[in-house]
Amino acid sequence: MQSFQMAMTINRFWRSSFWLLVLVTLWLSLIPVDLVPKAFSFWDKAQHALGFAALAFSGLLAYPPRIRSLMFGLALFGAGIECAQWFTGWRFGDWQDWVADCVGC
């Protein structure tokens, strides 16, 4: 029984971490560029690939039996971010950024 509770706690940790990363990624993707922390100022496409690799890694730990759904969902999430950036007025969606997102998945 104790190992079951430990497994549930670990799973809850990874699911919380995954969804926190999703929210942070969304926030960083939609705020004005001049408000993005300077620690994130390296090559744009690498940011996308590494960010989505972190999402994919934490998602795989959070939802191990749902690999295909997770990857498809992350690809849609990346496309949604690029579309949403067009509506902000201060960011611009880019299909190449979406491709970099998919590379990270």
- Say how far apart CA 80 and CA 15 lie, in whole Å: 21
Would you state the pLDDT for residue 2?
Answer: 61
- Say how far apart CA 91 and CA 55 lie, in whole Å: 22
- Say how far apart CA 48 and CA 89 lie, in whole Å: 20
pTM score: 0.83
CA dihedral 85, 91, 24, 69 (to 10 degrees): 30
Would you state the pLDDT for residue 4?
Answer: 59
Per-residue pLDDT of the chain (105 residues; tens, 9 = 90+): 566 566 567 789 999 999 999 999 999 999 998 877 666 556 778 889 999 999 999 999 999 999 999 999 999 999 999 999 999 988 888 899 999 999 998
Question: Which of 3, 100, 88, 87 is CA-nearest to residue 43?
Answer: 100
